[in-house]
Amino acid sequence: MASDPMSFKGVILRSSEFKDKDRLVKVITPDRGVVEFCAKGTGKQGSRFSFISMPYMLCDIVITESHGFYYLKDASIIESNAEIMKDLDAMMTASHMASCLIDCATADVSRELYELAVYAFYSLSVNIEKARLIYSAFNWRLLVLLGFASEYDRCTSCGEKIDEKSENKYKIKLGGGYVICSKCISSGYKTDGYRFLPARVMISLNYFASMPLNQIFSVRCDSKLQADLCDYTREFLSVMFEKDYKDPFSSLSYPPVLGIK
């Protein structure tokens, strides 16, 4: 017998074909983490829930459980975030964010991850030209939520506050909060697993770490800073998730176009 229906809001992270006319859908929810359910018959013409094949929408969802599987009972769109699918950079960013969220589905910060997803996909949809910045802000806030990163406050060695006007670079450890100011950097240090970052990169990361979600995705910055933020957050994420995240904005990572040699 089917159980009582469960209703929740969820952002669709992935939707894939299943059997002939069905789809398997993964959503991130406020209280249940990532939930997977089967949407039956959505491949049939005229199906009421055919929209469920589009990722990144925020929906009201009702599912029922039967023999350990969840089945879609009802759904309606709250926010379609449809613009994402009209831009390649936005699509790459959204796909990256979705797979990160699926990778940390078991984290016990379900509500925070859900809220991050809601703001990130919506911001991306209304600001597709800011894909790079949204990518970096998402990466950093995710790392902070999971306890893998925190604000860069002062030099680990001498304790001096990070000087945001400083032109000097700071030595930072990938995968840790360790930061060394230029005064403390002596010659002959090892550079493996370290990066040298300008203060303004660290100040931007602190902004992503601490400001309300409705503000972190709408900042403006020049293209050099955007590139630095993308690179650093991607490398940091790769170390912490033990996964080699490719640069989604490098033309080399785009799928090859058939017929062109």
Report the interface residues with Zn ion, using CB under 5 A: 155, 157-158, 181, 184
Q: Are 190 and 181 in contact (CB under 8 A)?
A: no
67 or 165: CB nearest Zn ion:
165
Q: How far is the CB of 182 from Zn ion (least distance, A)?
A: 8
47 or 166: CB nearest Zn ion:
166
8-state DSSP, 41: T
Q: How far is the CB of 60 from Zn ion (least distance, A)?
A: 52
Cross-strand pairs, 197: 170
134 or 197: CB nearest Zn ion:
197
Taking the C-alpha atoms of residue 100 and residue 139, their distance in angstroms, rounded to an integer, is 9
The one-letter amino acid at 106: T
Q: Are 69 and 16 in contact (CB under 8 A)?
A: no
Residues whose CB is less than 8 angstroms from the CB of residue 192 and which lie 6 or more positions away in sequence, other chains included? none
DSSP, residue by residue, 208-254: HHHS-HHHHTS----HHHHHHHHHHHHHHHHHHHTS----TTSGGGS
Q: How far is the CB of 231 from Zn ion (least distance, A)?
A: 24
- 25 three-class SS: strand
Residues 189, 191, 193, 196: is their CA dihedral positive or negative?
positive
147 or 177: CB nearest Zn ion:
177
5 or 159: CB nearest Zn ion:
159
146 or 185: CB nearest Zn ion:
185
Q: How far is the CB of 103 from Zn ion (least distance, A)?
A: 35
Q: How far is the CB of 258 from Zn ion (least distance, A)?
A: 54
Q: How far is the CB of 180 from Zn ion (least distance, A)?
A: 6
Cross-strand pairs, 26: 14, 36
Q: Are 2 and 65 in contact (CB under 8 A)?
A: yes
